[in-house]
Chains A and B, each alone.
Chain A
Amino acid sequence: DAGVIQSPRHEVTEMGQEVTLRCKPISGHNSLFWYRQTMMRGLELLIYFNNNVPIDDSGMPEDRFSAKMPNASFSTLKIQPSEPRDSAVYFCASSHLFPYYEQYFGPGTRLTVT
């Protein structure tokens, strides 16, 4: 298996632009997680899906952030409009459901908003 795939790996954009991050989970995994990592705030869970259904989006910082999972093999995280404080590394991870909690992370997308 190729593991969790994320694209793009790096994104540089100007403030106010729309940013879309993409994730393909490991085949057969039922859960998908979006995390954000910064030096100041560490690793934060933004939202997660079970069986393509959003379960908990309480970590999404603002209405500017939205996430979708239209099918079992694809998810997007969108920021519109982007702001400099959104600069971070965004990780996608996937896992099976209970009792198999092992999460596997993608390589991350490094987002820089200028």
Chain B
Amino acid sequence: GENVEQHPSTLSVQEGDSAVIKCTYSDSASNYFPWYKQELGKRPQLIIDIRSNVGEKKDQRIAVTLNKTAKHFSLHITETQPEDSAVYFCAAPDTGTASKLTFGTGTRLQVTL
């Protein structure tokens, strides 16, 4: 099955700075890489995803990059704001199944004023 590792486990940045969270995966056949944001007391919500036919995808202040050769992908948040404070999870599909995602262990991002 898929193995997903996520770093760092915690990240503190000042408002306005950039934040980068990195994940590696083990299954070279994986072709879909989502990122979820979970605010305190809320459900995980999909914020951006990328498929293996592109190397980068942007949506306003967030972007995801993918390096299939190295089997890693990253979430980039620019101009961070206090509302970006949350736990972020990466995931990759278990290609031996038709639907299962393997999640990383999460990164707690704290944006300080």
Q: Which residues of A come within 8 Å of B, CB atoms? A: 30-31, 33, 42-43, 45, 48, 50, 55-56, 91, 95-99, 101-108
Contacts and interface: CB of A to CB of B under 8 A. Distances in A.
B98 A56 contact: no
B103 A97 contact: no
A50 B100 CA distance: 10
Contact of A105 (B32, B43, B93, B99): B43
14 contacts: A31-B98, A33-B100, A42-B105, A43-B103, A45-B100, A45-B103, A50-B98, A56-B97, A96-B99, A97-B99, A99-B32, A103-B34, A103-B101, A105-B45
A91 B43 contact: yes
B49 interface: yes
B43 A106 contact: yes
A42 B97 CA distance: 22
B89 interface: yes
Contacts of B106: 42-43
A104 B46 contact: yes
A43 B102 CA distance: 10
A59 to B, nearest CB: 11
Interface of B: 31-32, 34, 42-46, 49, 89, 93, 97-101, 103, 105-106
A56 B100 contact: yes
B43 A101 contact: no
Contact of A102 (B34, B89, B100, B105): B34
Contacts of A107: 42-43
A48 B101 CA distance: 11
Nearest to A104: B46
A101 B103 contact: no
Given A43-B106, A102-B46, 5 more contacts: A42-B106, A55-B97, A56-B97, A98-B98, A107-B43
B44 A98 contact: no
Contact of B101 (A30, A96, A97, A101): A101
B44 A48 contact: no
A91 B44 contact: yes
